[in-house]
Structure 1
Amino acid sequence: MTAEASNALQYCSDLFAYQRRVSREIHVGNIKFGGDNPVRIQSMITSDTRDTPACVKEILELAEAGCELVRVTAQTRKYAENLENIVREVRAAGCEVPIVADIHFKPDAALEAAKWVEKIRVNPGNYADKKKFEIREYTDAQYDEELERIREEFTPLVHLCRDKNRAMRIGTNHGSLSDRIMNRYGDTPLGMVESALEFARIARDNNYHNFIFSMKASNPKVMVEAYRLLVARLMAEGPDWNYPIHLGVTEAGDGEDGRIKSAIGIGSLLADGIGDTIRVSLTEDPVKEVPVALALVNNIADSHLPHDPQDQQKGTLSYNPFSYQRRASQEIVLNEIKLGGANTVRVFTSKEKYDALSHKLDKLGDFTPEIVIENSGVIAVDPENSKEIATINASTSPQLVTIPDGHPMAVIHAYRMLACKLDARHPILLKDTFHPSKDSNKDFQDTLLTAARNIGSLLCDGIGDAVIVQGEEAPGQSLRLSYNILQAAGTRIFKTDYVACPSCGRTLFNLQETTQRIRAATGHLKGVRIAVMGCIVNGPGEMADADFGYVGGAPNKINLYINKTPVQFNIPEAEAVDRLIDLIKENDKWIDAPTETVEI
């Protein structure tokens, strides 16, 4: 997208002060979404949809944990038929949480499911559209002909949902764009948005408006750009296109990495006022997703600007919010460490934390501190003080610049303003918070979510040449968090990167156990990206950026991929991890694991 085109689009009413996007209100069962309602929390069960007692048990557990909407897969009409029994038993238990049927590939399953559940999720990339990785040139007439076929397939579901007062999510996934969209728009956020808008126009043509959009991807940069572009396009279409938005990073993975990746993608959009409902997709027990999602929503209050700066203070946005490009700073050298320019983003620490780790620096491996902030000569300036910034801009050589601790602005807004006013040649040191913590009992999850949202959001906009985590008191833990945020943002890949789906009723093997076995065997590989997918719904597409893929092809059978190309089929699950390792070795990506590690 050109700079001129991006300047004509607007996704956020104020990029320097928080204001929640105004969306229309829709109803899902007895729950209202959008409008002035709180951001709603949802999750998805993993049980086989044909197993009524197991599904009911999971749904009740999620509702008890605070989940406000529960998704259940319905991969065929036969599966969808059992939603009648599941919903009946859930309601008999006194639980009114709305149920969503997750539909891929099968319009007849959607039509059956809409009889029983309050909401239908459809994926435009595979609902009556083709996904065979075919490359062809579509004439306008051929493109319109396929779109008309989709209209014929989709309209009956629209009519049924309208007549039965069912809600719908038009949910595009980066990993499952159709061949038609891929050939016209490529594997891009623009393709994701256009795919969803096609379906929305069909819904609107039939006077149906009770729907939500989503734009999910495993790469936070892609996910953030897609949602921003979607909202900008909706704003351009007109005020009655203000449909609610569901946020999620798909295939986020597990543990700390999954939480960080989710906080970067979901948190940065919430900080801009976008999002009416969220799901944190972790490769863990679904109940564990709910407290993370609740914490993300509660944590977003920390992203609000306490005061709105004067208009003349705001400046011109220094980056294109719809297309990533790193800010063009100049290189400087600090204590023999090169920073800025084309160099990797560096990790700072405080002198106090450095001294606490000094006895084992040689054993910290990938989590070694690179620069001590007190010895860096960094200049702290108030981004609202134009005179201070003008003084730095007048200097003949590039200076490392940050924002002083105690500043009243929210972190994201403050650094956006700094980047607007500061000459691009000056490198910027990002902080996760302007209020360093000395509390050893502080909740680490809240610290993680805050740091990942603030630093990760700015990195995804190309801002930042160095980072320091101040919200975590423990020296080693703050360093690990710094590096893991850089990894999740795709800024500095220093370890194995995993794309792992969260499991559902379609999954053909135990994702949690398998992911842990793969992580244990390959976690020492530097810069290798491995995708672990339970089925083929998003697998091949989400593996476009992965080096290797491990995908369920049939019950207890695994297919192995290089990028998104399948190379080995129907491998017995018991052999599959070893075969994956062999494949990595055959492609010269393997190194032996180190014998000594230090837990920090």
Structure 2
Amino acid sequence: MNHASLRYCPDLLQYARRETREVMVGNVGIGAHHPIRIQSMITSDTRDTPASVKQVLDLAEAGCEIVRITAQTRIYAANLENIAREVRAAGCNVPLVADIHFKPDAAMEAAKWVEKVRVNPGNYADKKKFEVREYTDAEYEEELERIREEFTPLVHLCKDLGRAMRIGTNHGSLSDRIMNRYGDTPLGMVESAFEFARIARDHDYHNFVFSMKASNPKVMIEAYRLLVARLKAEGADWNYPIHLGVTEAGDGEDGRIKSAIGIGSLLADGIGDTIRVSLTEDAVHEIPVARAMARPFNEKKDAPATVAEFTPSYDPFSYERRRSSVMTLMGHEFGGDKTVRVFTTQERWNALAHKIASMGDFKPEIILEKSGVIEIDPRDEAAVSHLNDLTEPHLVTVKDGIGLEVIHAFRQLAFEVDPRHPILLKDTLEPPSGDTDFLEALLPAARNIGSLLCDGIGDAILVRGETAPGQSLRLAYNILQASGNRIFKTDYVACPSCGRTLFNLQSTTQKIRAATGHLKGVRIAVMGCIVNGPGEMADADFGYVGGAPNKINLYVGKTPVKFNIPEDEAVQRLIDLIKEHDKWVDAPEPAAAEA
């Protein structure tokens, strides 16, 4: 598909929030002039009214503005009546959302009781068979007609009752029809959502938002950008708000970094009206992270509306690394298609010198002060042309303290400077003087560096927002891992728990991590149930999926290979499966403790 004429934001070099219509979810407005709204999802069984009510109230108290509850069948959906009644009786007005996947009758029941219904176009009225077959135009139309019949009653009901809807595509659960025509692509995700949006619009129903979630931040960023560009191309009245999320981000630092790369880089381009950070932890832990992500953008003033004169030097809808020349510093090659290197300052190098040999994968590689890097303001035409006149490639970065946002500054540098000059990315252009809070340092670093890496910009990185030397290096490496630039440890795709989950996700993920955390470059998916399971594991080598209560199915790629394994044997059976496929190595002996 030719993206040349598509624009997803008016100016890649200054911030302006995308203008949307208002969508009301109960008493909470999304889009238009409203702040970016914070969402999460409860994890208890929807049939357990007291537990569900308690979790909704806990989330609301933590600052969550919209709460989602799974409703996998009509019986589950019917209990939303009791949950909603008890939540309101407790004096809490937070809007409730029913999460619907396979059952149109569950959606029809849920819409009676909650303020919003989330449908997934990939599996609403579609059975996912993972079939490879060619669709003729007539067969394709016939399927669309069947969907129209299944979906129209829900549109009418939501319109009559004043309910909102989210048309939420998941990279992992596209219908066979979409997969066969568009493949497992951002374009397929957008098209899948548009099929449903067109039906809603045909009935003059507009109270809906879109989402395009994926577990891979690169895919997620491309899909949302393409969605926004396509909405713009469809016409001014396709200005629907956007719900942002990275599915199955995982837990701990990695989950926060992956979410900050995907969600943060879109917010930085003015895209996104409501967000959910999916962590494999108690849902209340998602709220402070989401609030910290949204805060800088809720406080931001838009730049005056202009359309940039710059043509980007890269395609924002498909990943390709900027073609710089290869250089060597302190024995490390970088640039071109070489590894993205990790810089540190001389002062931090000195602080770590006594233990660099034992730092394993988190070693500093190049010292900033010894690199000969040229620092310029990318708006300074004389400095840019001087650099471009040099015969040899030279490492270049943006000068500190020039009053530009990090992402915009490095984009402009990449547009202006000859591609042969490798670029050193920095997480901040205003390094802090005192100690920093780790979350406050982690989120902007992941957003700024991760966003640029996902656009193919950057040959080396320097993290200075986190002032602890060892921690800043760990953060740098974890950003490289989460953005897919440097895989040095096992990569986990783990879903947040929800009422569909068939085992304890948190303890299971930790058990699997303990057993497999030393396997470099192996991707393991840990999925609570079958909804996103096979599809979100598209990128994973192995999958551990809840098949039935206390029973686990194991996958290789998208293919289930072992069924109904008792939960207490499943981690060992996963290890056996990894060994069968020659991806296993024994964990290294722990290093002797430092004297």
Amino acid at match of 1:558: I
Distance 1:90 1:231 in 2: 35
SS in 2 for 1:317: coil
Q: Are residues 305 and 90 of structure 1, via their aligned partners in 2, closer, same or farther at CA, if it must alter by over 3 Å?
A: closer
1:366 corresponds to: 361
Indicate the SS of the match to 2:233. helix
Give 1:525 deviation, angstroms: 0.9
Residue 299 of structure 1, CA deviation: 3.5
- Contact kept, 8 Å, 1:306 with 1:410, in 2: the verdict is no
In the TM superposition, 1:443-482 aligns within 5 A as 443-482=437-476
Q: 2:513 aligns with which of 514, 519, 525?
A: 519
Q: 1:355 aligns with which of 321, 332, 350?
A: 350
Aligned match for 1:28, one of 25, 31, 46? 25
Give secondary structure in 1 for the equivalent of 2:497.
coil
Within the candidate set 360, 381, 388, 1:386 is matched to: 381
Please tell me whether residue 494 in structure 1 is matched to residue 491 in structure 2: no
Task: Name the SS of the counterpart of 1:116 in structure 2.
Answer: coil
Match of 1:565 in 2: 559
| Within-5 A mapping of 1:205-216 | 205-216=202-213
Query: Displacement of 1:13 after TM fit?
Result: 1.4
CA offsets, 1:413-459, max 9 Å, x none? Answer: 0001010011111100000001122322x211010000000000000
Deviation, 1:110, is: 0.2
The separation in 2 between residues aligned to 1:511 and 1:182, in whole angstroms, is 29
Alignment partners' CA distance in 1, 2:349 and 2:297: 30
Deviation string for 1:295-324 (max 9, x for gaps)? 00114479x699779989x63211100000
Name the structure 2 match of 1:248.
245
Distance verdict in 2 for CA 1:490–1:578, change over 3 Å: same
Give 3-state SS (helix, strand or coil) of 1:518's partner.
Answer: helix
Query: Unaligned 5+ residue runs, structure 1?
Result: none
Which residue of 512, 537, 541 maps to 1:543?
537
**Contact kept in structure 2, 1:299 and 1:446, CA below 8 Å:** no
For residue 405 of structure 1, report the CA deviation from its aligned partner.
1.4
Query: Tell me, what secondary structure is at the counterpart of 2:3?
Result: helix
Deviations 1:560-584 (A, max 9, x none): 0011111100000000001001111
**SS of structure 2 residue aligned to 1:171:** strand
Whether 1:177 and 2:174 are equivalent positions in the alignment is yes
Partner of 1:53: 50
> RMSD over aligned Cα, in angstroms?
1.6
Aligned 8 A contact 1:26 1:211 in 2: yes
Give 1:598 shift.
Answer: 9.1
Q: Match for residue 419 of structure 2?
A: 424
Alignment-derived partner of residue 393 in structure 2: 398
Aligned counterpart, 1:437: 432
Match of 1:98 in 2: 95
SS at match of 1:168: strand
Gap change, CA 1:598 and 1:434, over 3 Å in 2: farther
**Which AA in structure 2 matches 1:521?**
A
- Aligned partners of 1:250 and 1:68: how far apart in 2? 19
Match of 1:506 among 500, 524, 528: 500
Cα displacement (A) at 1:337: 1.2
Structure-2 residue corresponding to 1:331: 326
Contact 2:249 2:278 in 1 (8 A): yes
Distance 2:18 2:578 in 1: 45
State the aligned residue count. Answer: 594
Partners of 2:593 and 2:487 in 1: CA distance: 20
Q: Secondary structure at the residue paired with 2:481? A: helix
The aligned counterpart of 2:370 is: 375
Could you tell which deviates more after superposition, 326-335 or 148-157?
Answer: 326-335
Task: Name the CA distance, whole Å, in 1 between partners of 2:487 and 2:253.
Answer: 16
Quick one: which of 519, 527, 531 aligns to 2:525? 531
Correspondence list, 1:302-321, <5 A: 315-321=310-316
Letter in 2 for 1:473: T
Q: Note if contact 1:17-1:305 (Cα within 8 Å) is conserved in structure 2.
A: no
1:110 aligned to 2:97?
A: no
Does 2:122 match 1:125?
Answer: yes
Counterparts of 2:593 and 2:480, CA distance in 1: 19
Deviation at 1:406, TM superposition (A): 1.2
Note if contact 1:99-1:119 (Cα within 8 Å) is conserved in structure 2. Answer: yes
Which whole-Å deviations, capped at 9, do the CAs of 1:272-315 have from their partners, x for residues lacking one? Answer: 0001000000000000001100000114479x699779989x63
Deviations 1:247-277 (A, max 9, x none): 0000000000000000000000000000100
Give the SS at the match of 1:235: helix
Q: TM-score, normalised by structure 1?
A: 0.97
Tell whether 2:180 aligns with 1:186.
Answer: no
**In the alignment, what sits opposite 2:154?**
157
Q: Structure 1: how far apart are the matches of 2:291 and 2:216?
A: 22
Q: Is the 8 A contact 1:525 1:591 kept in 2?
A: yes
Q: Which residue of 2 aligns with 1:134?
A: 131
Secondary structure of the residue aligned to 2:570 is: helix
Q: Which amino acid aligns with 2:528?
A: G
Structure 2 gap segments, 5+ residues each:
none
Is the 1:552–1:559 contact (alpha carbons within 8 Å) kept by the matching residues of 2?
A: yes
8 Å CA contact 2:35, 2:298 repeated in 1: no
CA distance in 2, matches of 1:69, 1:308: 31
In structure 2, what is the Cα distance between the partners aligned to 1:500 and 1:598? 32
Cα distance in 2, alignment partners of residues 50 and 517 from structure 1: 28
Displacement after TM superposition at 1:30 (Å): 0.7
2:44 aligned with 1:80 = no
1:412 equivalent to 2:401? Answer no
Contact kept in structure 1, 2:214 and 2:246, CA below 8 Å? yes
Aligned equivalents of 2:110 and 2:496: distance in 1? 22
Shift of 1:595: 2.0
In structure 2, relative to structure 1, the CA distance for the partners of 1:561 and 1:122 (3 Å cut) is: same
Amino acid at match of 1:146: E
Contact 2:17 2:302 in 1 (8 A): no
| Residues 599 and 225 (structure 1), Cα distance of their counterparts in 2 relative to 1, 3 Å cut | farther
Match of 1:8 among 5, 10, 19: 5
Letter in 1 for 2:244: L
Question: How far apart, CA to CA, are the structure 2 residues paired with 1:210 and 1:599?
Answer: 60
Matched, 1:595 2:593: no
- Preserved contact between residue 324 and residue 460 of structure 1 (Cα < 8 Å): yes
Q: Which residue of 1 aligns with 2:271?
A: 274
Q: Tell me, yes or no, if structure 1 residue 484 matches structure 2 residue 478.
A: yes
**Offset, 1:596:** 2.3
The offset of 1:153, in angstroms, is 0.2
Q: Secondary structure at the match of 2:237?
A: helix
CA shift at 1:597, angstroms? 5.0
Give CA deviations for 1:162-216 in whole Å, capped at 9, x if unaligned: 0010000000000000111000000000000000000000000001000000000
2:192 to 191, 195, 205: 195
